[in-house]
Homo-oligomer: A and B are copies of this chain.
Amino acid sequence: MMAQLSLSDAYNRASYPVAGHGPRNVAVLKEALASVEDSLAADLYGQGAVIVEFQRKMADYLGKPAAVFFPSGTMAQQIALRIWCDRSGQRRVAYHPLCHLEIHEQHGMHELHHLEPVLLGDAERLIALDDLDAMPEGVGVVLIELPQREIGGELPDWDSLVALTDWCRSRDIRVHLDGARLYECLPYYQKSAAEVAGLFDTVYISFYKGVGGVAGAILAGPEDFMDEAAVWKRRHGGDLISLYPYVVAANYYFDRRINRMTEYWAGARELAARFNQLDGVRTRPERPVTNMFHVHFNRPARAVEQLLAAVAEETGVGLISRVMARGESSASAEVSIGDQYAKVPKERLDMAFQRLEDKLRHA
């Protein structure tokens, strides 16, 4: 038997990867830059048409008075939470136990801003109204992430979301939206970005998830708040002399993909249904509410990787690129649907799932 490819190599070689918008390579930026004139002036420390006009466009899109472009969501969100806490005189920030700030930022919020997290509810489910009722005193701002990425991209229904944000408002506690994947929720809610953002005091959105840009984020909120955020951006080292590489790409791919979210969602539902027909495999959510979902396998990660790599090699269809172990005998993977899904011939996809089903049965 030949030495098997690693899953990521097999996925990268597959003719038909089902997830994402395509390879993350230099061509992504070159294509975006080709849409603007060579003579377009670089932004200069937050000034200049290229950044100012995009900030205006995003503020309008989100229905907020002002917006500032940041190199990263990590920076944008820490700053938003810091300002709300400073204004309230509190040092506690309440969020989901699997919030990005809690698990992916080396505790920058604490180390740099001396803010303390309050974890709301249970890691394995969405935040509920009861969790807010049980919240201790001293919280300056509540962060809600839509969708809740680390549990597969679940969403509270609209009434629950309104109830959560109303709860905060009625107690004069600020509420911030981690909208890294906000666009992807809009088809489910059947709301505009401004309607969702309208429930929140401030909102962050990202440009390299659903829209497939290179990097970068927007933070939007009240005018005076954003002026303060720009000062903190300078302090963090985020007020780069020029951010245009990210701004141009964000603008280009936003325009190109913002109206395709319904299609991506439909693809996610279709693909999830295929996974759920397999023995020992289930998706979370069972029926996706955005373009993303998680796939759970009741087998060890190593075994799942081998099966998926073999399917990719044999059929040319890359179903999953990376598997995470969940204990010794189960595993999970994240799938986000983008431009690529529509390019996969249905008969190839049928073949790939048939092959996966056979392998799961005989492995």
Digit string of A70-98 for contact with B (CB within 8 Å is 1, else 0)?
Answer: 11111110100000000000000000000
A23 within 8 A of B: yes
A342 within 8 A of B: no
B25–A39 CB distance below 8 A: yes
A1 within 8 A of B: no
A29 surroundings in chain B (CB, below 8 A): 33, 244-245
Nearest-Cβ distance from residue A13 to partner chain B, whole angstroms: 13
Query: Contacts A75-B238, A108-B235, A215-B241: A30 and B26 contacting too (C-beta < 8 A)?
Result: no
B240–A237 CB distance below 8 A: no
- Interface residue ranges, A against B (CB under 8 Å): 23-30, 33, 36-42, 44, 70-76, 78, 105-108, 111-113, 208, 214-215, 231-232, 234-246, 248
A33–B39 CB distance below 8 A: no
Q: Which partner residue on chain B sits nearest A238 by CB separation?
A: B237
A24–B41 CB distance below 8 A: yes
B24–A39 CB distance below 8 A: no
A72–B237 CB distance below 8 A: yes
Copies of this protein chain in the complex? 2
B26–A76 CB distance below 8 A: no
A232 surroundings in chain B (CB, below 8 A): 106, 111
The one of B42, B71, B105 in contact with A71, judged by C-beta atoms closer than 8 angstroms, is B71
Report Cα–Cα, A105/B242, bound state, in Å. 16
B25–A40 CB distance below 8 A: yes
Query: Contacts A27-B39, A42-B28, A242-B24: A234 and B71 contacting too (C-beta < 8 A)?
Result: no
A241 surroundings in chain B (CB, below 8 A): 72, 208, 214-215
Report Cα–Cα, A206/B291, bound state, in Å. 40
Nearest-Cβ distance from residue A226 to partner chain B, whole angstroms: 15
| Highest count of chain B CB atoms <10 Å: which of A38, A41, A42, A236 | A236
The one of B70, B112, B239 in contact with A74, judged by C-beta atoms closer than 8 angstroms, is B239
Report Cα–Cα, A113/B244, bound state, in Å. 28
Pick 17 A–B contacts, CB within 8 A, sort by A. Answer: A25-B38, A25-B41, A26-B39, A71-B240, A72-B239, A72-B240, A73-B237, A74-B236, A74-B237, A74-B239, A78-B237, A105-B235, A106-B231, A208-B241, A214-B245, A245-B245, A245-B246
Q: Which partner residue on chain B sits nearest A244 by CB separation?
A: B26
Query: Contacts A26-B36, A242-B215, A245-B214: A70 and B237 contacting too (C-beta < 8 A)?
Result: yes
Nearest-Cβ distance from residue A219 to partner chain B, whole angstroms: 11
A24–B42 CB distance below 8 A: yes
